[in-house]
Amino acid sequence: MLRSCTASVLTRDRYTGLPNAQTGIRIATMGDSDRQLAGSAIDAANQAVAAAIRAERARAGLKQTDLANLSGLSINTIQRLESGERELKLSQLFAITTALKIDARAFIDQAQAAMRK
């Protein structure tokens, strides 16, 4: 459930709580049920990204250590990304897709398709 107060000129997105481009006199905040919904969406996204990294790494015939060396990321980071424990940063996305020689947009499309299943 969203709650409002009148101290700000920003409107926040209902699901993420991030500022919208719109301006107004109310700021929306997320209630517990909205936080749970946003949290489950983030968890689903992390799992989809994890599956996509594992699938692309396997397709390339690489071990996690190989991907870590090629991408410049630590083995711990690769392991946590592939397990869904860590959210993928944009810089990590580019490092991984460059190492795997795949298009970043195609990688994101693959992860989004996995989320829809």
pTM check: above 0.75: no
Pairing of strands 3-5, 10-12: unpaired
CA–CA gap between residue 19 and residue 105 (Å, rounded): 25
Q: 3-state DSSP call for residue 60?
A: coil
Q: Where are any strands of DSSP class E within the chain?
A: 3-5, 10-12, 19-23, 27-29
Residue 116 has a pLDDT of 80
Q: What is the C-alpha end-to-end distance of the chain, expressed in Å?
A: 27
Structural domain boundaries in the chain: 3-30, 41-116
DSSP conformation class of 102 = -
- 117 residues of the chain, pLDDT tens digit each: 444 444 334 455 555 555 555 444 444 454 555 545 455 777 888 888 999 999 999 999 999 999 999 999 999 999 999 998 888 899 999 999 999 999 999 999 888 888 787
CATH superfamily, domain 41-116, is lambda repressor-like DNA-binding domains (1.10.260.40)
